Amino acid sequence: MSEGSLKDHLINLVNALTNLSPSRNIISQLLLLTPEEQTTLSHSFPELEISEFREILRAMGVLLGDKVKCAEGSFAEALTRLIHKTFDWLDDEYLYFELTIYGSVIMEIMKKMEDVRSSLAKLTGLHIDLIPNPYLEWAKLVIEKLSRDYGKDKVMRFMKSLLSKLPLRGRDRPPSIVDEVGVEVGANPLELKEICELLVYSEGGAENIYRKGSSKHPTGYVSIVHCKYHLDPLLLEESRSEGYYYYVTYVYTARHGETLRRALEEVM
């Protein structure tokens, strides 16, 4: 296999992955928004009324009842995970674990892969602007949609204020952070709850990706906090202090923070 053909195959691989992005593929977009009430999805996806589209979804393992959801272990569920991984990888946010030895103790350390797109640009001979960033594309679409629904100024100020407060340490879960931001942007409680679920977190939507400590002496967790549109801007580190007084400390850091700032600038 020649060097030129290797570059072609790499470009084809990157294109194949980015074409799965919900900003480019209506099927991926619908999968990413599940589980959801069918009446709500039909509002955004009139294609759901087309029998051929429904058959495509069923073949992928999508359950079409009052609530549309991906069947456990289905291709649709696997594809949703792949979309998340593609978001992370091509946005230099790929989180992985590395075994590190401290004396006689072997520990897993969470690390972040960096400069993926610039590396791919060098390997393919393409300008970095020609290496797509699916997360940026999706973030811009979501911000544009919510700006139409809630007002551009409110959505922009909400996201900018949230990002400016990170990293943030405390003993409160996301609601208190969002409440503080809501006061700044002047959102009413109901509206704030809706914006929060779409952009920051959904109840029960945290995905544990790493446990600090050992199985015998767990000291905390690191979680990705999912929101309805899966921009997932928060990474949550939960530390447990055990002793005479027991308490939990939460540290929130930004995921995709620089890309979200860029998306806000480009939508303005």
Cβ count near 111 (within 10 Å):
12
Burial of 192 (0-12, 13-18, 19+ CB in 10 A): buried
Q: What is the pLDDT of residue 93?
A: 87
| Element housing 70 (H / E) | strand 67-70
Cβ count near 10 (within 10 Å):
15
How far apart CA 38 and CA 240 sit, in angstroms, is: 40
Q: What is the pLDDT of residue 2?
A: 56
Q: What is the pLDDT of residue 261?
A: 95
Which pLDDT tens digit goes with each residue over 38-51?
Answer: 999 999 899 999 99
Please list the ranges in the chain whose pLDDT falls under 70.
Answer: 1-4, 101-107, 174-175, 213-218, 241-246
Which pLDDT tens digit goes with each residue over 94-126?
Answer: 888 777 766 666 667 778 888 899 999 999 999
Q: Where are the alpha helices (DSSP H) in 112-173?
A: 116-124, 134-150, 152-164
Decide: 108 and 95 in contact? Cβ < 8 Å.
no
Decide: 202 and 226 in contact? Cβ < 8 Å.
yes
Report strand pairing: 67-70 vs 36-37: antiparallel
**Domain residue spans in the chain?**
3-90, 135-267
Its pTM stands at 0.89
